[in-house]
């Protein structure tokens, strides 16, 4: 297993093309850019924790393929215990970073691809599962970071992929021969892509027969010829070029460092292709990935919320109102919501069951409910954090003002709360709250792992409403024996 430093060193060896604000970065300097450095640090922590005996039980596991000790982020779930430990691991790491550490998307993509390729081979006689196992062995042996690449730009949402005026708005196969395939298109909102080694490309939706060129799943190095990464803007990102205080979370950054990844006629050899035109399995791959990814959110957002709650409580201490009854009530309400998020992720893991491949899959209904909770409760937690913190979060002078020889004394004098706490410390906590409850972080809570409507569609489909109606009819004495015989679990 790599250490955090070894992970960083390995990234410098890539020949990756990354643009930020219209400028192409030098390949070996990508991870040093102020916009990217924090995201690299957050991902590096997942490597260092795996080498720390204190976190060994959560961070490492025995590979079912080799029997070797591996980082859990490269593992295929083999039990309910694996699913539960994943959520506990995510909460623990989030408590340490206060942000996204980016390895979850690839982790979930690999687990979804593993079970779906097995089922595809069983039905169609293809050889995708064996190919994928070879890729997985490579990932486990080298401990590389894989970026999950599902979301396409999508263009006109009222049209299917094959109906778009521009066919490249969904990633698709443009040609193939005995050596491999050529793909073209783009993947949007790509978390951790610029500090990963490989990307695992998946279809963005269930495809119909006319969309077969868009039913593609494959692994590609992030620096393969024809790939360009255009780094996205984040709230207050120019502050990353300034002092540490104004960043709020200078070491680990905001969310996951998303980018738009352009695939301009990229060659993929057949041994790295795991779906190519098998439209009947594209929907299963999308849904399985989505459920694994939605499982995460009560863990990672529970941990992030722990930090927000802690910061709010510290701000109350520093400002002298921590003993006020309404402050205690608000903090207790925040704790209740954070634990609700966590409980649902644990529940969908505890209710997991094995797939035909032997890999374990979460309860899909509870996984979707878990993510849908996040789209609401995180906003309520962050609203209360801003309420407790006060207007200083939005109007505070800069770190440059604090350090100015002429006006710094006024900042230290007038931004002080309780006399025992320096104004600088109060400013640090206020900036952390601003960072964690502001624009980019909230948008990710809403749309990461799918927007709220995607979860509604899934739990509406999975909730078995007819059974609920039958329960009511039977208890009301309206049901018949025939109806009772049709009851389902």
Name the domain boundary from 280, 315, 343: 280
Q: Is the pLDDT of residue 327 over 60?
A: yes
Residue-wise DSSP of 265-332: EEEEEGGGEEEES-GGGHHHHHHHHHHHHHHHHHHHHHHHHHHHHHHHHHHHHHHT-TT-HHHHHHHH
Q: How many CA atoms lie within 13 A of 66 on its CB side?
A: 15
> The domain spanning residue 189 has which CATH number?
2.40.110.10
**Same-domain check for residues 153 and 291:** no
375 annotated as a binding-site residue: no
pLDDT for position 147: 98
pLDDT for position 483: 52
DSSP, res 351: T
Name the domain boundary from 280, 300, 332: 280
pLDDT for position 480: 59
10 Å Cβ neighbour count for 443? 14
**Same-domain check for residues 291 and 232:** no
Q: Is the pLDDT of residue 487 over 70?
A: no
Q: Is the pLDDT of residue 488 over 50?
A: no
From residue 36, give the alpha-carbon distance in Å to each of 213, 219, 438: 34, 23, 19
Model pLDDT for residues 2-52, shown as the tens digit of each residue: 999 999 999 999 999 999 999 999 999 999 999 999 999 999 999 999 999
In a domain, 489, yes or no: no
> Exposed, middle or buried, 482 (CB in 10 Å: 0-12/13-18/19+)?
exposed
**Quick check: 183 and 174 in contact, CB under 8 A?**
yes
Average pLDDT, the chain: 95
How many residues would you count in the chain? 489
**Same-domain check for residues 272 and 299:** no
Residue carrying the six token digits 């050899």: 269
> The domain spanning residue 392 has which CATH number?
1.20.140.10
What's the first-to-final CA gap in the chain, in angstroms? 43
DSSP, res 212: G
Model pTM score: 0.94
Q: Per-residue confidence at 439, pLDDT binned at 50, 70, 90?
A: confident
**Same-domain check for residues 112 and 174:** yes
DSSP, res 356: T
Pull the structure tokens for residue 342.
């966590």
Q: Is the pLDDT of residue 486 over 80?
A: no
In a domain, 482, yes or no: no
The closest of 99, 410, 62 to 252, measured between CA atoms, is 99
- Between CA 261 and CA 191 the distance in angstroms is 10
Residues spanned by the domain of 96: 4-280
Known catalytic residues are 100, 104, 191, 258, 293, 297, 300, 444
Q: Is the pLDDT of residue 482 over 60?
A: no
Count of domains for the chain: 2
The closest of 437, 456, 441 to 371, measured between CA atoms, is 456
Give CA angle at 230 (229, 231), nearest 5°.
110
- Between CA 116 and CA 123 the distance in angstroms is 11
pLDDT for position 454: 83
Model pLDDT for residues 201-253, shown as the tens digit of each residue: 999 999 999 999 999 999 999 999 999 999 999 999 999 999 899 999 999 99
The closest of 278, 306, 258 to 92, measured between CA atoms, is 306
Model pLDDT for residues 358-415, shown as the tens digit of each residue: 999 999 999 999 999 999 999 999 999 999 999 999 999 999 999 999 999 999 999 9
In a domain, 338, yes or no: yes
**Same-domain check for residues 77 and 155:** yes
pLDDT for position 90: 98
- Between CA 266 and CA 220 the distance in angstroms is 9
DSSP, res 363: -
Pull the structure tokens for residue 174.
């443009």
């Amino acid at each position: 297993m790599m250490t955090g430093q070894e992970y960083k060193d390995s990234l410098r060896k890539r020949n990756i093309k990354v643009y930020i604000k219209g400028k192409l970065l030098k390949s070996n300097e990508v991870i040093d850019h102020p916009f990217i450095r924090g995201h690299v640090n957050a991902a590096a922590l997942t490597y260092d924790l795996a080498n720390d005996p204190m976190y060994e039980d959560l961070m490492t596991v025995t590979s079912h393929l080799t029997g070797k000790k591996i980082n859990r982020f490269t593992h295929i779930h083999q039990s309910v215990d694996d699913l539960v430990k994943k959520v506990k691991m995510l909460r623990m790491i989030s408590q340490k970073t206060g942000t996204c550490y980016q390895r979850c998307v690839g982790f979930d993509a690999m687990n979804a691809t593993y079970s779906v390729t097995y089922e595809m081979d069983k039905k169609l006689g293809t050889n995708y599962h064996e190919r994928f196992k070879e890729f997985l062995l490579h990932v486990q042996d080298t401990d590389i970071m894989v970026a999950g690449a599902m979301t396409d730009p999508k263009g006109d949402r009222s049209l299917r992929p094959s109906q778009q005026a521009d066919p490249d708005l969904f990633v698709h196969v443009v040609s193939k021969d005995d050596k491999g395939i050529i793909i073209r298109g783009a993947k949007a909102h790509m978390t951790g892509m610029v500090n990963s080694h490989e990307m695992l490309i998946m279809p963005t939706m269930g495809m119909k027969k006319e969309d077969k060129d868009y039913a593609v799943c494959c692994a590609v190095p992030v620096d393969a010829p024809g790939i360009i990464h255009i780094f996205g803007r984040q709230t207050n990102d120019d502050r990353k070029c300034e002092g540490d205080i104004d960043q709020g979370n200078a070491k680990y950054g905001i969310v996951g460092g998303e980018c738009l990844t352009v695939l301009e006629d990229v060659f993929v050899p057949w041994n790295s292709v795991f779906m190519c035109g098998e439209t009947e399995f594209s929907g299963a791959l999308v849904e399985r990935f989505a459920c694994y990814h939605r499982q995460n959110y009560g863990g990672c957002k529970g941990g992030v919320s722990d930090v927000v709650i802690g910061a709010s409580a510290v701000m109350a201490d520093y400002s002298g109102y921590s003993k006020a009854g309404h402050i205690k009530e608000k903090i207790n309400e925040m704790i209740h919501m954070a634990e609700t998020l966590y409980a649902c992720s644990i529940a969908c893991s505890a209710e997991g069951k094995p797939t035909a491949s032997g890999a374990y899959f979460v309860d899909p209904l509870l996984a979707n409910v878990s993510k849908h909770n996040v789209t609401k409760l995180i906003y309520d937690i962050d609203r209360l954090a801003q309420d407790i913190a006060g207007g200083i979060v939005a109007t505070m002078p800069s770190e440059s003002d604090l350090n100015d020889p002429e006006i710094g004394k006024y900042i230290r004098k007038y931004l002080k709360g309780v006399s025992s706490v320096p104004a600088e410390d109060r400013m640090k906590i206020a900036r952390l709250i601003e960072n964690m409850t502001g624009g980019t972080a909230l948008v990710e809570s809403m749309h990461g792992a799918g927007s709220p409507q995607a979860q509604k569609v899934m739990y509406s489909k999975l909730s078995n409403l007819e059974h609920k109606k039958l329960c009511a009819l039977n208890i009301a004495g309206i049901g018949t024996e025939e109806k009772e015989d049709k009851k389902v679990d």
